Structure 1
């Protein structure tokens, strides 16, 4: 096996700073009939929808997603965009989805299904509002006024209290919202306006930022640059577009770079999601859901293009297998040094929100150091250079997002608080265009 010594030493240096262990969880194994789910606040586009075993779904459009195999509960939907105008594309006035939705049964992954994970809450929903289990698990805000009303009130509570995980809401907190829910149900029943209209009014009442034409243009430019054309709403066609770029004769070292980088991008996604569960923060969640997930998919598109088996690092024979890669649970990796690094970072980051954000600084600096060398090593393979360069640009943005988040918490030196080696300037790491941090 060809190993890149600079990569291994970079990981070892970071791992020496902290020590620790990972975490695990268990889940129900009931299967969803038909393998299709609807993810709805309003319809949520471009969400990352996975089951408890990490099986990824395929986006059908308009908030609908399909699994190739019967998924295992809970089904989790992370990130994406609330399609306010119901036009089926990410467009001006749509809204970033910052809420983690989970379907614990049935075919609808909604806020009501999410909070019904608590049996006492599920019982309360049935007794107070007449919902059946079938409605809790299968109805959406678009098809059921009571589900829509409860979803609205819970959504507002999450926004007002800066919650990304509605499952943390207690029964007592929910009971305090009972009058609001009843008022909202009456509004839905007695109003002639549509669910979409009422949702749009709620977004305005909560002063939630909407996507602007500049936001859409920036996203289109980012994905055009990433995939060589196709635009924002073609982002999930990245594999097909990458496959059209010139193919190179990769060296074993370049193949190893792809294997390593897939694991490293997966680590960034896994650790940010894991730490967000402990100390929720928009930077952790958005970067995991809207960037690192895409970065992992970009590298996997290259692995598929070159038909590499990155679980066999001797000769990469056996071919690409999506099933093999999706079988790696969060915190599990083919490379022992990556798995050890995850454990180390988890131990540090789980101590406090400041530690979690410092871990973000550390991960991004380590990624950039590796990518600087990866880009040089990938010279001659244009598709690898293009993807690695895009990943590095993303890491610059992420570094400054974590730096800004730390300063907002009163840590005046931002990422520099993580240590001298993680203290960077705008000359070293370009600042985001227009001052916006692209997650």
Structure 2
């Protein structure tokens, strides 16, 4: 009788697991489709702003619209932290999260706010997973799995990096521990989301850095020095985001806050003399790989992004962190007479690791964006940047796992 009961239990568990995989595939398809649509919209408004640069002067109007949308929806945005918290303890995300972040991010990019796209991807994908799990009345663990699967599907569609997208939600939630039970659902959702983007020919091409030198004593020293700098710059970026958020929070009226932030961005744009640091700014990665960026460019991107996101505009911090890292690495190469491409790649991956506390994801995104070039360089960079950056990070909701027996949530200092 005991064996019979065990067989029935195993059969039920297998059926439940297969059912979750099917749900993850559905979530990946929906999240990937929405993510692809979001990519099309963002790319379209960016091209429109490039064609009509005067749209930057309407950024205050865009901020007012964003604040109005969130107030009408009666929703106080907590960004990606809300998604991470939903996996920790609150499994349901409001359905309105997806449409709100979609529209507000498009508005931000249309009028020249400096932000990324992945914040929207993670929130859209998480809300899709939450909605499906709620509709199907799934148990809590399965709900959390589908939220992570949604994040993977949408992230993969936007970035074109299925390996990175499958691992990132697992690693970013608990630093030091992964919920491997969610790996296969996330992988399925990621691959399906990526397939949707491929079908619509929206996958970004890989970057090329030319010939990679051998890792000898001199190049190893150069990697170590740049990685130390990248760890410090990642701390600076996180500190800048938190500090500017605290400063803007002193302005109680959200409309005034958005208008003040917009005015600062417009003034900075006029002082710089171009719009290289507005919007996503992905073209700056290619310029960094060519060694064609000002030595102070990474500092300007930190400033533009911090003001934009802290004053109420929407988007993400990951693409800006990649751009900041690429420009830092390019500057490093320029100063020391080294090939800009390799060092831009190293800086890019190292800063990403420093701000996310996700070393495995950082390695994967480097491999996928650069066709597995310079893997030894990236390994050193990620290891060092992860240590130097400490417990600073973009997401306050991250949990740091010190050991199997002891886990502690690190509360980021936003003062």
Q: Shared fold by TM > 0.5?
A: no
Higher relative contact order (CA 8 A, sep 6+): 2
Structure number with the higher strand fraction is 1
TM-score, L = length of structure 2 = 0.27
